[in-house]
């Protein structure tokens, strides 16, 4: 489990990228207050997912607008799936991993 810092570093409804043990992880702060984490690199052509737009279900990559389910990592537009990571809040600290 890795602390990534304060949840206030991520604006509501947006994502930010973190380097964690050599992996790049995008953490999203949903409008219902919950968090999701995926690989920061888009499986399509490497786009920055943390720059994507989200709702409670999906993230849309800014480069070619493919979409992924934030909880399962499954693509909603026929792409390979994206890795998802467990993430949760401890107070206002973001904790990544089991």
Partner 1 sequence: MKQRLVVVGNGMAGARTVEEILARGGDFAITMFGDEPYGNYNRIMLSNLLAGVEDEAGIFLNDLSWYADNGITLHAGTRIERIDRFAKTVYTADGTPTPYDKLIIATGSSAWVPPIKGIRLPGRGYHQGVFVFRTLDDTRAMIRYAREHERAVVIGGGLLGLEAARGLQNHLDHVTLLHAASHLMNAQLNERAGKTLQRIVEQKLGIEVVVDATTTEILGRHAVTGVRLSDGRVIACDVVVVAAGIRPNSQVAADSGLVVERGIVVDDQMRVQDEDDIYAVGECAQHRGQVYGLVAPLWEQAKVLADHLTGADPDAAYHGSRVATKLKVAGVDVASMGLQLPEREDDELLEFAEPGKGVYSNVVIRDGRLVGATLVGDTRKAAFLMQAFDLGLPLPEERAELLFDLGGPPAEVSPAEMADDAQVCNCNGVSKGTICATVTAGCKTVGGVMDKTRAGKGCGTCRPLVQRIVGWATGGEVEEDPAASWYVPGVPMPKPELMAAIRRHELKSVSAVFATLVPGGTEDAKSKMGLASLLKMMWGDEYIDERDARFINDRVHANIQRDGTFSVVPQMKGGVTTPAQLRRIAEVAEKHDVPMVKLTGGQRIDLLGVPKEKLPQIWADLDMPSGYAYAKSFRTVKTCVGSDFCRFGVGDSTALGIALEERYQGIEGPGKMKLAVTGCPRNCAEAYVKDIGVVAIDGAKWEIYVGGAAGAHVRKGDLLATVSSAAEVVQLTGRFLQYYRENGNWLERTYAFVPRVGIDKIRAIVVDDAQAIAADLDAAMDAAIAAYRDPWRERTDPVTPGQFRTSLPLTVLPRVPVRA
31 binds partner 1 (CB under 8 A): yes
Assign 11 to helix, strand or coil.
coil
Place of tokens 């604006």: 11
Q: What is the spatial distance between Cα 28 and Cα 92, in angstroms, rounded to a whole number?
A: 14
The number of beta carbons lying within 10 Å of the beta carbon of residue 97 is 15
> Which tokens in the block code for residue 96?
């990544």
Q: Minimum distance from CB of 91 to ligand FES (Å)?
A: 33
Among 14, 69, 81, 97, binds partner 1 (CB under 8 A): 14
Among 34, 62, 81, 97, binds partner 1 (CB under 8 A): 62
For residues 4-63, which are near ligand FES according to CB under 6 A?
42, 44-47, 61, 63
Among 4, 27, 35, 40, binds partner 1 (CB under 8 A): 40
- Select 50 or 94, whichever has its Cβ closest to ligand FES: 50
By rule CB under 8 A, what string of x and - marks binding of each residue 77-96 to partner 1? xxx-----------------
Describe the strand order of the beta sheet including 53-54 as a list of residue ranges: 53-54, 58-60, 67-69
Of 2, 1, 3, which Cα lies nearest the Cα of 92?
Answer: 3
């Amino acid at each position: 489990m890795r602390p990534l810092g304060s949840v206030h570093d991520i604006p509501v409804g947006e994502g930010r990228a973190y380097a964690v043990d050599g992996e790049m992880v995008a953490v999203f702060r949903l409008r219902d207050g919950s968090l999701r984490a995926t690989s920061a690199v888009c499986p399509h052509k490497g786009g920055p997912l943390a720059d994507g737009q989200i709702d409670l279900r999906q993230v849309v990559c800014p480069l070619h607008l493919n979409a992924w389910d934030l909880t399962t990592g499954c693509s909603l537009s026929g792409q390979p799936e994206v890795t998802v990571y467990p993430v949760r809040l401890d107070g206002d600290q973001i904790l990544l991993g089991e």
